[in-house]
Chain A
Amino acid sequence: MKTKALILGLCACGIAIIPSLLGEGYLIQVLNLAILNAIVVLGLNFVTGFTGQINFGQAAFFGLGAYATGIATLAGAPWLAALFLSGLVAAIASLALGVPTLRLRSYYLAMTTIGFGEIVRLVLIHWEEVTGGTSGLRAIPPISAFGFRVESQMASYYVLVFALALAILFALRIRNSSFGRAMIATRDSEVAAELSGVNTIRVKVLALMIGAIYAGLAGCFFASTIHYISPDSFTNRQAVLLLTMLIIGGTGSIWGAVAGAIGLTMLPEAFRFLDQWYLVLYGSAVIAVISFAPGGLASAIPNVVTRLKAAR
């Protein structure tokens, strides 16, 4: 117990001093992006990791949230109202997608969300007078609430870490609630879940919606910390990347989702010298994880630990 507290304390100190090591600049911005991705992937983990439904729409929900905040705050709306709006827009979109498709079993959600991602991208590009078209929206106002304005990347970092901590705590709570059990039961055997009295359609729709709200809220933070959004950040390519982060980290694992998202956002920076060879490394790494640790890194680490202990 004491060592656990010590480790937690050291982690907290580490997280707190990172910005002063990096300084204001590009790297801290990448780190902020990694934290945002972690929130989005945590959301994806509800519907894909816990409930077992493939969702290619997570990047689009993220985009809807970002544009909702961008458009609203540029029009002069207070930031907190924009935050609420971002979550609401994503939730409504997820219900519109989920209610008709999740009544059906199997891959309908996957197919529908691919289409949805493409529609969102096309609307963002072509509805120029509202979305700014391919050039996107610039000079989006920063986070400001309760009399604070979060201008710098370093200050944003602390806000985002706090948001991620809340996102993790909420996810842990849900996982250990009856709804958390119902999601995993639905994934493991839909028939047995129904026979146990679980309303599986409701569970699937709710899981999709909670995940979409995570993405929508992260979208708001994205718009107001990066200050610039364009359709490129929310394509189906990005959706696949988010799924990859979840698979590498470990589907169904909260800590895996966080680690996968942060790792896969930061790594390209570390391997920048590889240039386009990075994609080769990336592809091989994905294949390696899927073949040697199908449960992702979250499942591989405990295995390695037990093996090391056994070897001693």
Chain B
Amino acid sequence: MLEIENLVVSYGHIEALKGISLRVEAGEIVSIVGANGAGKTTLLSAISGLLRPREGDIRWLGQSITRVAVEALVGQGISHCPEGRRIFPGLTVMENLLTGASARPRGADLKADLDLIFELFPRLAERRTQGGWSMSGGEQQMLAIGRALMSKPKLLMLDEPSLGLAPIIVEQVFDRVQELNRKTGLSILLVEQNAAMALEISARAYVLETGRVTLSGDAAVLADDPRIQEAYLGG
């Protein structure tokens, strides 16, 4: 579905990504793990069009998308749930969700999408008329994922969903992400510092270090790799 070849992205003279290649197939959960500053967020921003690559190519369903506008790409089925959640505090929960459907055609039937989101996150259904500003961190993350699902994506990109959340909430969120993938066959590209959680729910994974892929492969195999254990799993 998504193929990235030799991607180079730089901020001025500093290369954040130094030639990355990866792919995501239909129905897969693929995670990208790595330390702070490895280039994980840069990679997602380049895919969703927020940053333009200097070299290399990103192909989505066979077409190069490196020149497509951010909001147009959402309509083509790539949804990016940004780091730090970035929900809209001035809108209600329901309005946040409806805004996520901005790229859908006018008059599209959103009932099925809302039902799915409320089934995954019943908390959002309870709080649908409340302001976004009143949500706790975990609720905000659920809302951000729900909003990203409203565009009816074929690929969902999640950037650090565990950031700043209590361990028990992190577990809930990851459970829901896995459930979503199983139920709907949605492909998920997951960026995480919490490597243990990410590898647990993923089929495959890439390890990113200072802008390069240093290891990749089956998530279960990687989780047992001594280099990973030492560097990311604390032991």
Residues of A near any B CB (own CB < 8 A): 178, 181-182, 184-185, 187-189, 191-200, 252
Contact = CB atoms under 8 A, between A and B. Distances in A.
B90 A252 contact: yes
8 shortest interchain CB distances as A-B pairs: A197-B103, A192-B86, A197-B74, A197-B102, A188-B88, A194-B70, A189-B86, A184-B90
B168 to A, nearest CB: 26
Given A181-B98, A185-B99, A189-B86, A195 B70 contact: yes
A200 B95 CA distance: 17
Nearest to B91: A184
A188 B82 contact: no
Contacts, number: 73
B90 A196 contact: no
Interface of B: 48, 50, 69-71, 74-75, 79-82, 86-91, 95, 98-104, 132, 147-148, 150-151
A191 B104 CA distance: 18
A64 B76 CA distance: 43
Nearest to B81: A195
A182 B99 contact: yes
B90 A191 contact: no
B88 A189 contact: yes
A198 B90 contact: no
Contacts of B74: 195-197
Given A184-B91, A195-B70, 9 more contacts: A182-B102, A192-B87, A195-B50, A195-B81, A195-B148, A196-B100, A196-B151, A197-B74, A197-B100
A191 B88 contact: no
19 contacts: A178-B99, A181-B95, A184-B90, A184-B95, A189-B86, A189-B88, A192-B86, A193-B88, A193-B102, A195-B148, A196-B74, A196-B99, A197-B74, A197-B75, A197-B100, A197-B104, A197-B151, A198-B102, A199-B71
